[in-house]
Amino acid sequence: MDYDTVVIGAGAAGLMCAAQAPGRCLVIEHAKTIGEKIRISGGGRCNFTNIYASPDNYISQNPHFVKSALARYTQWDFIDWVSRSGIAYHEKTLGQLFCDGSAKEIIAMLRQAIETANAKIWVSTSVKDLTQIENGFRVLLQRPEGTLSVSTKNIVVACGGKPIPKMGATDFGLRLANQFGLNVTETYAGLVPFTFAGKQLEDFKAISGVATTAKLSSNGQSFKEAILFTHRGMSGPASLQISSYWTPGEEVTVNLLDIETLNLRIMEAKVEEGRKSPNTVLTRLLPARLVPRLLADLYLPERIADMTALNISALTNRLTNWKLTPAGTEGYRTAEVMVGGVDTNSLSSKTMQANKVNGLYFIGECVDITGWLGGYNFQWAWSSGWVAGQSIRESLI
Ligand code: FDA
């Protein structure tokens, strides 16, 4: 065999795996540079993990699958490596850790480890053909100087998911899974802004740029974070989070205010400032540009003192239980992740190796494991890449 391991994809998971896998390891990457999604992540500062990462923060048809890898290589293991590498970081919010300086420091840390492990990285290289041979695989590579055939004991598929095709994202990992008889679950764009149509879109365009905190719910899941109205619809962390749980045609429920706070405010205002309009009173609780849009079709009286029980009920319902039906999402063009992927039933959760194909591993985003927004997806890439690397290490001893 020419190599012990060929890793396809020099993203977060592939680089982590190559840094762990001993022996003759080759990483191939079809883009011109490695770790492009790491570089652009977190606004250039890479939200590289989350201190609260746990299996509860992941979506999968088998929610138990993440447990083993996340327990064997935890966020604390990665944080320790980052610290030992002298990379300064900070917690921004909700346990999300970002580099103080640049995401490029994380790429440099991974590259350094790969160099120390004596693994090779070939960029501008793609796979033309992959076949199983006795005790391994034959890979036909397309390099700038021509085609080249190499043999390897292990193949690690770390091609990521479909988001941001213009950065080189492909469904190649899923196609390889199909080729080797592994199931692939339904895939769709996650952590992605919602789009709206018709009157709702016109309303949102008019308040484009307005942000507020809201609790968004869909399909039994809720997130309370910021939302942002845009000229296409709705974005912001809470929207992105709930988009991973939303299915087309479903409603998203928006709760803008705590019901007790709202009722108290209305009662106080009716007594103390009854001549003021509901609009004026509410702009103390919500952004001034948002309130008239929310109240427009409720036909409330001019003075808050004149609000009837029916008016109050309609207002409370709008502000705590606003039902919106998105037309869709912005799709893979702007999504941060792909939901779904290689069926975890086809893989070992301890090693990420295919159950029925010895030496074939799938790691990172191409697997049916999707993290929440906030560093959880990189943690999955590190954890799954690490366990695959350890498995290869043990197989070579
Ligand atoms: P990744 O996509 O990183 O790597 C796959 C690699 O394979 C790529 O380099 C690709 O070019 C290569 N490849 C694909 N097909 C190939 C082929 N046929 N041959 C050779 N190479 C091939 N997550 C997080 O936790 N914190 C964050 O801050 C962010 N921020 C963020 C911002 C944006 C804009 C996006 C789009 C995504 C994020 N994410 C994130 C998500 C995170 O980037 C993602 O979960 C990981 O990069 C997944 O790591 P992988 O290694 O699995 O795929």
CA 137 – CA 130 distance, rounded (Å): 7
Q: Tell whether ligand 1 has an atom less than 6 A from the beta carbon of residue 28.
A: yes
CA 230 – CA 236 distance, rounded (Å): 9
What distance in angstroms lies between residue 200's CA and the mean position of ligand 1's atoms?
33
Percent of the chain with pLDDT over 90: 98
DSSP state of 180: T
CA 212 – CA 286 distance, rounded (Å): 7
Which tens digit of pLDDT belongs to each residue from 330-374? Answer: 999 999 999 999 999 999 999 999 999 999 999 999 999 999 999
User: What integer pLDDT is reported at residue 324 of this predicted model?
Assistant: 98
Which tens digit of pLDDT belongs to each residue from 55-114? Answer: 999 999 999 999 999 999 999 999 999 999 999 999 999 999 999 999 999 999 999 999
Average pLDDT value for residue range 313-338: 97
CA 189 – CA 199 distance, rounded (Å): 25
Average pLDDT value for residue range 281-293: 96
Cα 346 from chain centre: 22
Mean pLDDT over the full length of the chain: 97
Q: How many CA atoms lie within 13 A of 11 on its CB side?
A: 29
Question: What band does 397 get if pLDDT is binned at 50, 70 and 90?
Answer: confident
Which tens digit of pLDDT belongs to each residue from 173-209? Answer: 999 999 999 999 999 999 999 999 999 999 999 999 9
Q: Tell whether ligand 1 has an atom less than 6 A from the beta carbon of residue 172.
A: yes
What distance in angstroms lies between residue 163's CA and the mean position of ligand 1's atoms?
8
Nearest residue (CA) to ligand 1, atom 3:
11
Helix (H) / strand (E) element for 143: namely strand 136-143
* pTM of full prediction above 0.85: yes
pLDDT of 222 higher than 90: yes
Angle at 368 between CA 362 and CA 371, to 5 degrees: 110
User: What integer pLDDT is reported at residue 36 of this predicted model?
Assistant: 97
pLDDT of 1 higher than 90: no
Average pLDDT value for residue range 43-60: 98
Percent of the chain with pLDDT over 70: 100
pLDDT of 21 higher than 90: no
pLDDT of 127 higher than 90: yes
Q: Which atom of ligand 1 is nearest to the CA of 163?
A: 36
What distance in angstroms lies between residue 160's CA and the mean position of ligand 1's atoms?
5
For 294, the token pair is 């929310």
Least confident of 130-139, 231-240, 261-270, 344-353: 261-270
For 159, the token pair is 């091609």
Angle at 349 between CA 345 and CA 355, to 5 degrees: 55
Closest CA to 372 of 129, 79, 112, 54: 54
CA 238 – CA 226 distance, rounded (Å): 6
